Amino acid sequence: MLLEMINIDKSFFNVKVLNDVSLHVEKGEVHALLGENGAGKSTLMNILGGVHEKDRGTITLDHEKIEKINPKIAPQLGIAFVHQELNLFNDLRVFENIFLREEITNKFGQLDKQKMIGEVEKLFHNMGVDIDPTVMVSELDTSKKQLLEIAKALRKDAKLFILDEPTTALGNLEIENLFSIIRRLKEQGKSFIFISHKMPEIFQIADKYTVLRNGDFVGAGSISEVTPESLTRMMVGDCYDNRDIYVCRELKEPILELQNFSGKGFQDVNLTVNKGEVLSLTGLQGSGCSELMQCIFGCTKPTSGTLKINGKVVSGGIRTLMKNKVGMIASNRKENAILKDLCLLENCYVSEHTLSWKKQKINKQRELEKYNVLSKKLNIKANSCKDLIVSLSGGNQQKVMIARWLNTDAEIFLLDNPTQGIDVGAKSEIYKLIVQLSEQGKTIIMNTQEISEIQKISDRCAIFYHSRLQIVLDRKDINEETVMLYATNAHGIREGQNGKQ
Amino acid sequence: MENSKKNRPGWSSYLKWIWQNANYVLIFAVIFLVYLLINGQATNWAGITNIMRHSSVIGIVALAMGLIILIGDIDLSVGSSIALVGGFSVLIFNATGSVAITLAAGILGGAFTGLINGMLIGKVRMPAFIATLATMMMYRSISQYYLASSGVAMYKVDASSPGYDAFFKLGNGNIMTIPILTLVFLAMALMLIYINGSTKFGKTIYALGSNEKAARLAGINTEWLRVAVFVIAGALVGLAAVLFAAQNGTITPSSAGKNYELYAIAAVVIGGVSMLGGKGKIVGVIFGMLTFTIIDKIILSLGYNPLINDTIKGAILLMAILFQMFQKGGKPSR
């Protein structure tokens, strides 16, 4: 046994995020660590990588009990961690990033750039990666950056590699290359902990699995003994049967139309959304869904094409779109949506005020009444509307954001990754709210990469690949395999074998 | 909530509330107490109105700075604006003899210097520090250059002008023993408190200072809001410049309003406004300013060399920041 993590507990601010979790990894094994977002996978790995400290439990590596880990000790123990978020320095060159603080120098302490560049070239060649070692990291696209992050770890002589969703930004060929490297290293006796949401990948590369749910250990075993369905059921638990949130509705007239709509990050999109519909946009990171959404909301200007709302051509900035009853809940709530120094009430009315700007005096009584109605409707859990928004949990913060746009009487809701950083319980509450809104005739366009949530609530699903709309699936056709097929453009490759789908 | 019912709110809980939400009041109280102790029996109403008088012109500048810091920017040019707009309004006064026209011209002139700053920062998107550093150099220099070309050492209010008495009274008169300057300062402070607390415009100032990106995505026109805030702040500085001229009778371009930007920033910070923007109250700026003036008076009473002034003011500033940091440490950081 290479790694044993036994009975690990961890809490943040009295919220238990890991409860008695164990993980066993053998030498020369690829171990898939599974669970929904917020299940505790990243926390567990961050404990192993020394980013967080465990509250309880034991960690044994190579039969030696490890008392203390921090990000500096972890590599010395032979643990190499490829984080989900990229830890690269954009203003340094590729080889400088790889050799940062481990630079090769000559006798006089001068950097031996030629030697470093040579080593990087060799490494990239082995990985089948085509990156110029001397280029600035800022010039690389996301997939190259992810490969670079992986290369940084692979160069180290580690026993155990932790790959936290390493393939989100990679194309199929790059994934194939990565897998062949993993297989080769596995033969040399290296072990991998592989975190991924993509079932096909897991069945392709992993030997064993461990499933976490809501911070609890759910199960572990050999991949060969399970099916994708049984694994998914373990991951999502009872929620898996939660599909009945969806309410079949009759869709009304078109409310939003895109015609040959192009802009930064997306091209030539033709799409019609009906009133009262829940339409999901999906695709891999960087496929253009988020960019499209921002452009519809007027954050960026389209380069060509038209946007029609209720049959009328609309073009302009955010305020124009708001006047046309469009609201957007931006992704990355902390950065793009919440006003951290303002209270719940203020966060709730800020957008409506830009529409009723001419009447400058705030009617505090009226605002309070409106807030109370909204907070009841959305079930916002807070002590007082005067509390700072940052005192709320992610799910409640997101409800305040929904309240913000309901307050403006928006008819079309653009939700960019609305369940990001929200725990499972609050997630299903958000899903229910979305369905409720659609029943009341609001139109929802939601960008998400979680296929399970697309299945739960969408009427249709528009799939993007490399800035182009690939296909729009009807509800009955939405399933993990089909979505991934189009999102990764494997469809284009497979089409020859399987015939037209 | 339940806890507070069990323990009746006593003195300590009030103090705790002030400590957490308005520590500028505590700092002010301590400094004021020191002043009373040192001054002893010499303390009288005249001394206290004197403190108010000396806090007023720079206080209005501090209010302007408070607004700008609330949106997360800074304005280094306020002191130079005093030299430029003040000199310019002396010329207007001497030409027209009208206090009203001079006030209007000063406010408009100040708004214009603010507009320049605002356009550079809000529209061209230059960093506020650099843009106002540049205009700081320019505004004072223009004032000096123009004066040099006319061959005198300072802009001097014409004492023979028919409006002179009224102008002098504006800068030095009292209404019911309270300096007119102080009444103007308080009126401006009340106006800003109203704007910040009760208007949509005021709330967007906090939104912009809190998170510019989120404010934009919430529908706020952040570019123009920034310009508007700089224009309003400029108008306040313009008003302060006219009052400065009325109080002193002259504007010496090389020294008028010198270091006002620094004192104003310090008063704003002592008043509990976060330099990162989005957090703080205009009331705090009033207390911050008074605290600063009292330190002057304390040093005067002690008979120390006034050159030690800035050392003590600096120390008080550091203390204020330390307080604020402690407070932050008390809350869980997200």
Q: What is the pLDDT of residue B63?
A: 97
Closest residue on chain B to A364 (Cα): B198
Pick the closest to residue B229 from B194, B265, B264, B202 (CA basis): B202
- A452/A232 Cα distance (integer angstroms): 10
- Identify whether residues A380 and A361 lie together within a single domain: yes
Domain hosting B97: range is 44-324
Is A248 domain-assigned? no
- Identify whether residues A315 and A180 lie together within a single domain: no
Residues facing residue B175 across a β-bridge: B178
Mean residue pLDDT of chain A comes to: 87
Query: Which two three-digit tokens encode residue A241?
Result: 């049967």
Q: What is the pLDDT of residue A466?
A: 85
- A52/A13 Cα distance (integer angstroms): 13
Share of chain B above pLDDT 90, in %: 66
B207 and chain A: CB distance < 8 Å anywhere?
yes
- Identify whether residues A368 and A476 lie together within a single domain: yes
* CA B151 to each of CA A57, B146, B147: distance values in angstroms, whole numbers, following the listed order: 83, 9, 6
Domain hosting A302: range is 253-498
Is B24 domain-assigned? no
Q: What angle do CA B242, B246, B247 make, to 5 degrees?
A: 115
Write the residue in A318, A357, A364 that is nearest to B216 by C-beta: A318
Tell me if B120 sits within 8 A of B186, measured CB to CB. no
The pLDDT-based confidence of B2 (bands split at 50, 70, 90) is very low
pLDDT one-digit tens code per residue, A122-178: 988 887 788 899 999 988 877 788 888 888 888 887 899 999 888 877 777 778 888
- B268/B264 Cα distance (integer angstroms): 6
Is A109 domain-assigned? yes
Q: What is the pLDDT of residue A496?
A: 47
| Averaged pLDDT for residues A235-263 | 78
Pick the closest to residue A234 from A199, A201, A205 (CA basis): A199
The pLDDT-based confidence of A238 (bands split at 50, 70, 90) is low
The pLDDT-based confidence of A43 (bands split at 50, 70, 90) is confident
Q: Which of A35-49, A400-414, B168-182 has the lowest mean pLDDT?
A: A35-49
Q: What is the pLDDT of residue B112?
A: 97
Is B263 domain-assigned? yes
| Averaged pLDDT for residues B23-43 | 87
Is B333 domain-assigned? no
Is A247 domain-assigned? no
- A90/A306 Cα distance (integer angstroms): 36
Contacts of A380 (CB under 8 A, 6+ apart): A344, A374, A392, A396, A399, A400, A403
Is B39 domain-assigned? no
b/e for A466-482, b at 16 or more Cβ within 10 A?
ebbbbbbbeeeebebeb
Judged by CB atoms closer than 8 Å, whether chains meet at A360 and B201 is answered as yes
Residue after which a domain boundary falls, among A191, A217, A242: A242
pLDDT one-digit tens code per residue, B40-80: 787 889 889 999 999 999 999 999 999 999 999 999 999 99
The pLDDT-based confidence of B229 (bands split at 50, 70, 90) is very high
**Strand arrangement of the beta sheet that strand A443-447 belongs to:** A312-313, A304-309, A254-263, A266-274, A468-474, A460-465, A278-283, A443-447, A412-416, A326-329
A346 and chain B: CB distance < 8 Å anywhere?
yes
Q: Which of A236-250, A324-338, B33-47, B193-207 has the lowest mean pLDDT?
A: A236-250
Is A294 domain-assigned? yes
Write the residue in B1, B200, B214 that is nearest to A353 by C-beta: B200
| pLDDT at residue B8 is higher than 80 | no
- Identify whether residues A319 and A408 lie together within a single domain: yes
Share of chain B above pLDDT 70, in %: 95
- B182/A390 Cα distance (integer angstroms): 39
| Averaged pLDDT for residues B110-130 | 96
Helix (H, G, I), strand (E, B) or coil at B252: coil
- A261/B200 Cα distance (integer angstroms): 35
The more confident residue out of A63 and A498 is: A63
Closest residue on chain B to A405 (Cα): B218
Cα dihedral angle (A191, A194, A200, A205), rounded to 10 degrees? -10
- Distance from the A418 Cα atom to the nearest Cα atom in chain B, whole angstroms: 15
- Identify whether residues A182 and A280 lie together within a single domain: no
| pLDDT at residue B332 is higher than 50 | no
The CATH number assigned to the domain holding A105 equals 3.40.50.300
Pick the closest to residue A297 from A276, A324, A275, A272 (CA basis): A324
Residues facing residue B156 across a β-bridge: B250
- A197/A236 Cα distance (integer angstroms): 12
- Identify whether residues A493 and A452 lie together within a single domain: yes
- Identify whether residues A169 and A192 lie together within a single domain: yes
- Identify whether residues A368 and A411 lie together within a single domain: yes
Write the residue in B198, B217, B279 that is nearest to A328 by C-beta: B217
Residue type, A96: E
Judged by CB atoms closer than 8 Å, whether chains meet at B207 and A335 is answered as no
Q: Which of A221-230, A234-243, A259-268, B2-11 has the lowest mean pLDDT?
A: B2-11
- Identify whether residues A158 and A53 lie together within a single domain: yes
Q: Which of A117-121, A175-179, B52-56, B183-187 has the lowest mean pLDDT?
A: A175-179
The pLDDT-based confidence of A442 (bands split at 50, 70, 90) is very high
Share of chain A above pLDDT 90, in %: 47
- Identify whether residues A231 and A337 lie together within a single domain: no
Is A318 domain-assigned? yes
> DSSP of B120-173, one letter per residue?
IIIIS---HHHHHHHHHHHHHHHHHHHHHHHT-SSEE--TTSTTHHHHHHHHH-
Tell me if B243 sits within 8 A of B56, measured CB to CB. yes
Q: What is the pLDDT of residue B44?
A: 86
Judged by CB atoms closer than 8 Å, whether chains meet at A339 and B201 is answered as no
| pLDDT at residue A393 is higher than 70 | yes
Is A405 domain-assigned? yes
Residue after which a domain boundary falls, among A187, A217, A242: A242
φ/ψ of A423, rounded to 5, equals -75, 165
Is B8 domain-assigned? no
| pLDDT at residue A209 is higher than 70 | yes
| Averaged pLDDT for residues B262-288 | 92
- Identify whether residues A77 and A129 lie together within a single domain: yes
The more confident residue out of A85 and B51 is: B51
- Identify whether residues A236 and A267 lie together within a single domain: no
| Averaged pLDDT for residues B96-115 | 95
**Strand arrangement of the beta sheet that strand A3-12 belongs to:** A64-66, A56-61, A3-12, A15-25, A216-222, A208-213, A30-34, A191-195, A160-164, A79-82
The CATH number assigned to the domain holding B105 equals 1.10.3470
3-state secondary structure A27-49: CCCEEEEECCCCCCHHHHHHHHC
- A215/B123 Cα distance (integer angstroms): 48
| pLDDT at residue A239 is higher than 60 | no
Judged by CB atoms closer than 8 Å, whether chains meet at A364 and B198 is answered as yes
Judged by CB atoms closer than 8 Å, whether chains meet at B210 and A383 is answered as no
Is A373 domain-assigned? yes
DSSP state of A392: S
| Averaged pLDDT for residues A24-34 | 93
Residue after which a domain boundary falls, among A242, A263, A291: A242
Tell me if A454 sits within 8 A of A282, measured CB to CB. yes
The pLDDT-based confidence of B209 (bands split at 50, 70, 90) is very high
| pLDDT at residue A494 is higher than 60 | no
- Distance from the A480 Cα atom to the nearest Cα atom in chain B, whole angstroms: 32
User: Which of left, alpha, beta for B269 (phi over 0: left; psi -120 to 50: alpha)?
Assistant: alpha
| ipTM, two decimals | 0.85
Mean residue pLDDT of chain B comes to: 89
Tokens 């009853």, located at residue? A325
* Total structural domains within chain B: 1
User: Which of left, alpha, beta for A222 (phi over 0: left; psi -120 to 50: alpha)?
Assistant: beta
* CA B90 to each of CA A140, A304, B99, B114: distance values in angstroms, whole numbers, following the listed order: 59, 56, 10, 19
The pLDDT-based confidence of B14 (bands split at 50, 70, 90) is confident
* Total structural domains within chain A: 2
| pLDDT at residue B329 is higher than 70 | no
| Averaged pLDDT for residues B271-281 | 90
| Averaged pLDDT for residues B108-134 | 96
Is B7 domain-assigned? no
Helix (H, G, I), strand (E, B) or coil at A260: strand
Is B21 domain-assigned? no
- Distance from the A315 Cα atom to the nearest Cα atom in chain B, whole angstroms: 15
Within 8 A of A362 by CB-CB distance, chain B residues are: 198-200, 203
